[in-house]
Amino acid sequence: MRALRSLCLMLLTTLIAQVSLDAAEIGWYASGKKGAVAAGGKGAVVAGISILKAMGLRKSGAEVISCPTCGRTEIDIISLAVEVEKRAESIKSPIVIAVMGCVVNGPGEAREADYGIAGGKGQGLLFKNGKVVSKVPEDKLIDGLFDLIQAEEHIT
């Protein structure tokens, strides 16, 4: 059984290494003379960059962490996370943004990020470097978050 586990671990490590090389190649194509279309389009480039970030091999741009939706979520976490991801594309600094949907785990997770949202019933808390900055209505969370980020000149 141990031999099988070791073999599986070796195969997984090889696969991860190959994926990271492929992701690096995708990034090269996107920034090089061949263009993103040659590498499978923008979706492939975004996926490649995400893989590199998750493996700690790329240290630029925002990393958005979001909780999965569950029964405790009292805000529209999916829409919030999608909008934060979209708006975070313009950030070049290596920052972490947490988008959390409940008052149970959200504050703890948001405190671990550079910036964060922890949702509640129709409202949420905004965090910066582990500290609560403000409590705002749900419809003001994203603008409030990006106002904080822009104040630190992470958005150009």
pLDDT category of residue 87 using cuts at 50, 70 and 90: very high
pLDDT of residue 35: 45
pLDDT of residue 136: 94
User: Within the chain, where are the H helices?
Assistant: 2-31, 41-54, 77-88, 106-112, 141-151
- 108 vs 87, residue with greater confidence: 87
pLDDT, tens only, 53-68: 766 777 778 888 888 7
Q: Quick one: 156 exposed, middle or buried, by C-beta within 10 A (0-12, 13-18, 19+)?
A: exposed
Architecture of domain 60-156: 2-Layer Sandwich (3.30)
- Residue-range domain boundaries for the chain: 1-58, 60-156
pLDDT of residue 98: 92
pLDDT of residue 86: 92
Angle between helices 2-31 and 41-54 (to 10 degrees): 130
pLDDT at 30 over 60: no
Angle between helices 77-88 and 141-151 (to 10 degrees): 30
